[in-house]
Amino acid sequence: MPFQPTTTTPFKDKLSVAPMMAWTDKHCRYFHRLITKNTLLYTEMVNAGAVIYGGTARHLDFNAEEHPVALQLGGNEPEKLAQATKFAEEWGYDEVNLNCGCPSPRVQKGAFGAALMAEPNLVADCVKAMLDVVKDANKTPITVKHRIGLDKSEDTPQSYAFVRDFIGAVADVGCQTFIVHARNAWLDGLSPKENRDIPPLRYEVVHRLKQDFPHLNIVINGGITTNEQIAQQLQQLDGVMLGREAYHNPWLMATWDAQFYGANVPSESTRESIEEQMVQYMEREKAAHGTPWPAIARHMLGLRHGLRGARHWRQVWSNQNLRDLPSSEVMKMAHAVSFESDVLAPAASLA
pLDDT at 152 over 80: no
Least confident of 139-143, 187-191, 334-338: 187-191
Whole-number pLDDT of residue 338: 79
Please state the CATH superfamily assignment of the domain spanning residues 15-261 in this structure.
Aldolase class I (3.20.20.70)
- Average pLDDT over every residue of 204-228: 97
3-state secondary structure 222-240: CCCCCHHHHHHHHCCCCEE
3-state secondary structure 84-129: HHHHHHHHCCCEEEEEECCCCHHHHHCCCHHHHHHCHHHHHHHHHH
Whole-number pLDDT of residue 189: 67
CA distance 57 to 162: 38
The CA distances from residue 61 to 104, 116, 138, in Å, are: 25, 27, 22
- Average pLDDT over every residue of 47-59: 91
Asked if 184 and 147 touch (Cβ cutoff 8 Å), the reply is yes
DSSP structure class, residue 201: P
Name the band, by pLDDT with cuts 50, 70 and 90, for residue 32. Answer: very high
Does the fold of domain 271-349 match that of domain 15-261?
no
Spatial neighbors of 312 by CB under 8 A, at least 6 apart, are: 334, 337, 338, 340, 341, 350
- Sign, CA torsion 161/142/146/48: negative
Least confident of 55-69, 154-168, 240-254: 154-168
253-285 per-position pLDDT tens digit: 999 999 999 988 777 789 999 999 999 999 999
- Average pLDDT over every residue of 184-191: 74
- Average pLDDT over every residue of 80-104: 94
Whole-number pLDDT of residue 8: 38
Spatial neighbors of 154 by CB under 8 A, at least 6 apart, are: 184, 199, 200, 202
Whole-number pLDDT of residue 289: 95
Active-site residue set: 102
Whole-number pLDDT of residue 343: 46
pLDDT at 319 over 60: yes
The answer to whether the predicted template modeling score (pTM) of the entire model surpasses 0.85 is yes
CATH assignment of 271-349, among 3.40.960, 1.20.120, 2.40.50, 3.40.210: 1.20.120
Delimit the domains of the chain by residue range.
15-261, 271-349
- Average pLDDT over every residue of 230-249: 97
Whole-number pLDDT of residue 347: 40
Closest alpha carbon to 195 in 243, 267, 155, 141: 243
pLDDT at 288 over 70: yes
